[in-house]
Amino acid sequence: MPRYEELVKIRVTQAVRRNLGEGLLLSGGLDSSIIAAAAHQKPTAFTVSLEDYGTDVKFARLAAEYLDMKLYIKKVTIDEAIQSIPEVIRVLKTFDPAIPNDLATYFGLKLSRVHDCRNIMTGDGCDELFAGYDYMHHMNLEDHIPKIVKSMSFNSNTLGDYLSLKVKQPFLDSELIEFALNINPELKVKEIDGVKWGKWILRESFKHHLPKDIIWRRKTPIEAGSGFTKLREIIEKQVEDIDLSRHPVKFINREHLYYYKIYMQEVGYIPEPCGNDKRCLYCGAGVPAYSRHCRTCGAYPT
């Protein structure tokens, strides 16, 4: 193996060892599978799917079998998911349209608690550090990645606290972040046969430790891989057709309005800016001066 790829593998493995957890939210994607491969003591893996709509279960089983890990799978019903939306909105204090992502995380963390897990690892931060998102493939990564690293936050922490569960995030290890920020962007995004691949250096570094289908799996958002995207279609049909432009809050669609109504029932107010906060142009909430994302309504950029 080329020397630099070996170094990347070592640094990631060290970060996992410093942040080792009993459990792992395993989607069968590259990020969580690398954590599983790098762990010297194999964690118990947990995977969720909205009924049979997702693809994660297939890949999680592949990773678990390859690495000889115990895997628990929870098939969440549509009714369970819908009924849990108010709870998740209340805990996170948001009506961000990304709620389906948060629901998948919530059910994964909850599943781990059922099996007496006290702390659990997630792949949070990998996409931000190693250019895993498709939109990053055409950006100046030397400029962009340091900016998002300063402001990135993950709802898994808040949900974990709510469920009395310690969430461990190896890719957010301070030493690994410092190392990753100094990796040449050309090693993060590589074009192969006309196709651009993010996280290229990670794929190369762990290609002998995971199945090929996982190493070269395309980036799949949490809600898509887990099948929770299906909720969007269901919710849209439940909301009456109204003129969204007449509302003081700017909604992107009826689903967004659906979350807002629940938010106002559960939380009851839009937080005003304070200190050096700026005001979100979409909902009026306070947004930290350094951030471009409104955590209240999900607007980006603010």
For the stretch 42-81, pLDDT in tens is 999 999 999 999 999 999 999 999 999 999 999 999 999 9
pLDDT band, residue 241 (cuts 50/70/90)? confident
Other Cβ atoms closer than 10 A to 46: 26
Q: Mean pLDDT, to the nearest integer, of 31-52?
A: 98
Burial 55-80 (b: 16+ CB within 10 A, else e): bbbebbbbbbebbebebbbbbbeeee
Helical (H) or strand (E) element with 148: helix 141-151
- Whole-number pLDDT of residue 161: 98
Q: Where are the domains of the chain?
A: 3-225, 272-302
Q: CATH code for 3-225? A: 3.40.50.620
Q: Identify the pLDDT of residue 3.
A: 86
- What confidence tier does 246 reach under pLDDT thresholds 50, 70, 90? confident
Q: Please give the structure tokens belonging to residue 62.
A: 């592949």
Using a pLDDT cut of 70, give the percent of the chain over it.
99
Residue 192: its pLDDT value, please?
A: 95
Tally of CB atoms within 10 A around 228: 27
Q: Which helix (H) or strand (E) holds 230?
A: helix 230-238
pLDDT at 245: 83
pLDDT tens profile 150-184: 989 999 999 999 999 999 999 999 999 999 999 99
Cis peptide before 100 (omega within 30 of 0): no
| pLDDT at residue 1, rounded to an integer | 52
| Backbone phi and psi for residue 175, each to the nearest 5 degrees, phi listed first | -70, -35
